[in-house]
């Protein structure tokens, strides 16, 4: 059941320090790599939210040992994977795209399904790729059934990854365990969210896997063991953005502690993006501190590389002075919902002026009024509504529970941030 939530308005500039939970993208990659590794691994400070708990549950159902360490860590003990198993992908792109390539190494039948919205997310590309690499799968989208044979020949496959970088990442993460490794060749419009593929490549190399990514749009993973490791999960920089946006839209100051000096997370771009909107941003020993200006200025911005930030950028744009043009994110129509359509509809519902383009949105600020902001079961739609609600009275978000996808307690964190003035 969905839970409507009255977004609190800020009674002045927001001043707070907000520790954010671990990265979804790093946690779910680490879980898969640890499950396929040559010994037990530990994930320190993993994200424990719906997406990562679903990944852990799915791996457990295939026979992998995942237990809680005393300090919130996860201890992962690999074991030969087997069915029968039923995997609930929820609405998690990382589960539905990263797990089938791993489950192809299992013996037995594995049935995959997910939320209603998940059944419409693009999956055909990765299922066809796995079939080309030797897997036996019935279906083109969720739900589908994989008949595991205990291994996969692997080899070279050409795919069109323009709908999601996760097709590439999924194949690379398990590819070292295929008999011939894997070579993924992309042929199509540009691959979105490329830094997320670089994150995959980096984490594979850190686990001792040989990866050649020297040629654009070609990735080669050599067959071989994946080393067991200690994983230190960084804070989720994309999930930091709504809290930093609270400083941006109220002229306040928010610090995110533990901001990594170097990272593969595309969310690192939030610093530059907020500066372009007119904020000042500093990284020092305290973390990343963002100070909001008197008035945000609209931006012309290509978000192809960090497309998951689009809903938050739209919330800022709706409250800025001057037009914002967001480009390069056509594929986010296949994210948790059609985000281009959803963002335009919700900004306009509150009296704003947002127009869909083929690959993004144009937002012309107008005074907004209260109303019920629909989240479409999408965590980042929900947090975008919360940002607007800070400065527009009477905004409610229809499904704040959707935020548990990647943040265990968003309403609690938001309240603590506002209480800290
Ligand atoms: O690999 C990952 O962890 C992700 C890749 C991106 O997906 P797309 O390439 O589908 O945008 C990103 O938007 C998503 O939130 C997480
Ligand atoms: C696109 C996103 O998620 P997913 O991993 O489900 O694709 C997101 O978190 O913005």
At residue 218 the predicted structure's pLDDT band, cuts being 50, 70 and 90, is very high
Please state, in angstroms and rounded to a whole number, the distance separating the CA atoms of residues 121 and 141: 8
Q: What is the ipTM of this complex?
A: 0.99
Give all strands of the β-sheet with 218-221 in edge-to-edge order. Answer: 155-159, 182-186, 218-221, 211-212
Which residue's structure tokens are 């480009």?
A: 327
In terms of domains, do 303 and 160 share one?
Answer: no
In terms of domains, do 374 and 250 share one?
Answer: yes
CA 13 to ligand 2 centroid distance, Å: 30
Residue 4 scores a pLDDT above 70: yes
DSSP string covering 253-289: EEEETT--SS---GGGGHHHHHHHTT-EEEEETTEEE
Whether residue 12 contacts residue 45, with contact meaning beta carbons closer than 8 Å, is answered with no
**Predicted pLDDT of residue 3:** 84
Tens digits of residue pLDDT in 406-419: 999 999 999 999 99
Mean pLDDT over residues 78-96, rounded? 98
In terms of domains, do 218 and 239 share one?
Answer: no
Tens digits of residue pLDDT in 57-73: 999 999 999 999 999 99
Q: Cβ contacts of residue 313 below 8 Å, gap of 6+?
A: 273, 299, 301, 303, 324, 326
In terms of domains, do 398 and 322 share one?
Answer: yes
Q: Cβ contacts of residue 272 below 8 Å, gap of 6+?
A: none
CA 28 to ligand 2 centroid distance, Å: 12
Lining residues, ligand 2, CB within 6 Å: 92-94, 308, 335-336, 380, 406
Helix (H, G, I), strand (E, B) or coil at 325: strand
Q: Is 164 in the pocket of ligand 1 (CB under 6 A)?
A: yes
Find how far residue 341's CA is from the centre of its chain: 19
Phi-psi region of 193 (alpha: psi -120 to 50; beta: other; left: phi over 0): left
How much is the pTM? Answer: 0.98
**Which residue has a Cα nearest atom 10 of ligand 2?**
308
In terms of domains, do 68 and 16 share one?
Answer: no
Count of domains for the chain: 2
Among 223, 249, 268, which residue terminates a domain? 223
Tens digits of residue pLDDT in 375-395: 999 999 999 999 999 999 999
Residue 420 scores a pLDDT above 70: no
User: Token pair of 95, please?
Assistant: 């589960």
Annotated binding residue 165: yes
In terms of domains, do 411 and 277 share one?
Answer: yes
Annotated binding residue 117: no
Among 192, 223, 254, which residue terminates a domain? 223
Q: Please report, in angstroms and rounded to a whole number, the separation of the first and last CA atoms in the chain.
A: 33
Q: Which helix (H) or strand (E) holds 219?
A: strand 218-221
Domain with 303 in it: 5-20+234-419
In terms of domains, do 239 and 217 share one?
Answer: no
Candidate from 380, 384, 404, 410 with most ligand 2 atoms within 8 A of CB, to mutate: 380
CB atoms closer than 10 angstroms to residue 69: 12
**Predicted pLDDT of residue 421:** 47
Whether residue 130 contacts residue 155, with contact meaning beta carbons closer than 8 Å, is answered with no
Residue 1 scores a pLDDT above 80: no
Question: Is 136 a member of any domain?
Answer: yes
Closest to 231 (Cα-Cα) out of 29, 59, 406: 29
Mean pLDDT over residues 161-185, rounded? 98
Q: Is 307 in the pocket of ligand 1 (CB under 6 A)?
A: yes
Question: Is 229 a member of any domain?
Answer: no
User: Token pair of 387, please?
Assistant: 């940002």
Tens digits of residue pLDDT in 28-50: 999 999 999 999 999 999 999 99
Q: Cβ contacts of residue 230 below 8 Å, gap of 6+?
A: 41, 42, 44
Question: Is 228 a member of any domain?
Answer: no
- The atom number, within ligand 1, closest to the CA of 191 reads 9
CA 166 to ligand 2 centroid distance, Å: 10
Question: Is 45 a member of any domain?
Answer: yes
- The atom number, within ligand 1, closest to the CA of 24 reads 3
Candidate from 55, 97, 164 with most ligand 1 atoms within 8 A of CB, to mutate: 164
Helices (H) then strands (E): counts for the chain: 12, 23
Beta strands in 82-179 (DSSP E): 85-88, 107-113, 137-138, 144-149, 155-159
Residue 363 scores a pLDDT above 50: yes
At residue 2 the predicted structure's pLDDT band, cuts being 50, 70 and 90, is confident
**Which residue has a Cα nearest atom 10 of ligand 1?**
164
CA 94 to ligand 1 centroid distance, Å: 7
Please state, in angstroms and rounded to a whole number, the distance separating the CA atoms of residues 203 and 176: 13
Q: Between β-strands 211-212 and 230-232, what pairing exists: parallel, antiparallel or unpaired? A: unpaired
Q: Is 238 in the pocket of ligand 1 (CB under 6 A)?
A: no
Angle at 94 between CA 91 and CA 97, to 5 degrees: 100
In terms of domains, do 198 and 247 share one?
Answer: no
**Which residue has a Cα nearest atom 5 of ligand 2?**
93
Residue 172 scores a pLDDT above 60: yes
In terms of domains, do 144 and 32 share one?
Answer: yes
Please state, in angstroms and rounded to a whole number, the distance separating the CA atoms of residues 371 and 225: 54
Whether residue 123 contacts residue 159, with contact meaning beta carbons closer than 8 Å, is answered with no
Residue 201 scores a pLDDT above 70: yes
In terms of domains, do 41 and 71 share one?
Answer: yes
In terms of domains, do 103 and 166 share one?
Answer: yes
User: What CATH number did the domain enclosing 199 receive?
Assistant: 3.65.10.10
CA 402 to ligand 1 centroid distance, Å: 17
Mean pLDDT, the chain, whole residue set: 97
Q: Between β-strands 287-291 and 280-284, what pairing exists: parallel, antiparallel or unpaired? A: antiparallel
Q: Which residues are catalytic?
A: 308
Tens digits of residue pLDDT in 338-362: 999 999 999 999 999 999 999 999 9
Residue 143 scores a pLDDT above 70: yes
Annotated binding residue 166: yes
Annotated binding residue 339: yes
Residue 91 scores a pLDDT above 90: yes
Please state, in angstroms and rounded to a whole number, the distance separating the CA atoms of residues 31 and 277: 36
In terms of domains, do 218 and 169 share one?
Answer: yes
Task: Judge residue 367's burial from the number of C-beta atoms within 10 Å of its C-beta, 0-12 exposed, 13-18 middle, 19 or more buried.
Answer: exposed
Among 223, 254, 285, which residue terminates a domain? 223
CA 164 to ligand 2 centroid distance, Å: 10
Ligand nearest to the CA of 49: 2
């Amino acid at each position: 059941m969905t839970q409507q939530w009255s977004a609190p308005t800020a009674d002045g500039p927001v001043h707070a320090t907000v520790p954010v939970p671990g990265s979804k993208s790093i946690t779910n990659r680490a879980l898969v790599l640890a499950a396929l590794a040559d010994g037990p691994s530990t994930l320190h400070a993993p994200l424990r939210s719906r997406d990562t708990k679903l990944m852990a549950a799915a791996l457990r159902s295939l026979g992998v040992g995942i237990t809680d360490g005393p300090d919130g860590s996860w201890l992962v003990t690999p074991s030969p994977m087997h069915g029968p198993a039923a995997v609930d992908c929820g609405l998690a792109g990382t589960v539905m795209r990263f797990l089938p390539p791993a489950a192809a190494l299992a013996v037995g039948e594995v049935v995959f399904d997910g939320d209603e919205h998940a059944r419409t997310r693009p999956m055909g590309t990765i299922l066809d790729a796995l079939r080309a690499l030797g897997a036996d799968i019935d279906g083109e989208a969720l739900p589908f059934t994989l008949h595991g044979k205990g291994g996969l020949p692997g080899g070279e496959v050409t795919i069109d990854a323009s709908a999601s970088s996760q097709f590439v990442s999924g194949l690379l993460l398990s590819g070292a365990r295929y008999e011939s490794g894997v070579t993924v060749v992309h042929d199509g419009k540009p691959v979105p969210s490329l830094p997320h593929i670089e994150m995959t490549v980096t984490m594979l190399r850190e686990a001792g896997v040989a990866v050649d990514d020297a040629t654009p749009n070609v990735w080669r993973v050599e067959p071989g063991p994946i080393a067991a490791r200690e994983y230190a999960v960084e804070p989720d920089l994309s999930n930091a953005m709504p809290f930093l946006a609270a400083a941006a839209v109220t002229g306040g100051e928010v610090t995110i502690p533990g901001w990594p000096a170097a990272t593969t997370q595309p969310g690192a771009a939030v610093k530059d993006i907020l500066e372009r909107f007119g904020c000042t941003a500093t990284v020092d020993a305290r973390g990343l501190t963002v100070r909001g200006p008197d008035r945000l200025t609209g931006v012309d911005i290509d978000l192809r590389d960090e497309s998951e930030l689009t809903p938050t950028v739209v919330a800022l744009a709706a409250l800025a002075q001057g037009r914002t043009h967001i480009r390069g994110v056509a594929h986010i129509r296949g994210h948790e919902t059609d985000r281009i359509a959803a963002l335009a509809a919700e900004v306009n519902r509150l009296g704003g002026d947002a127009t869909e383009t083929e690959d993004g949105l144009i937002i012309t600020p107008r005074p907004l009024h209260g109303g019920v902001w629909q989240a479409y079961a999408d965590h980042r739609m929900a947090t975008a509504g919360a940002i607007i609600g800070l400065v527009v009275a009477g905004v409610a978000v229809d499904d704040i529970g959707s935020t548990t996808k990647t943040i265990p307690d968003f309403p609690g964190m938001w309240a603590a941030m506002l209480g800290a003035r």
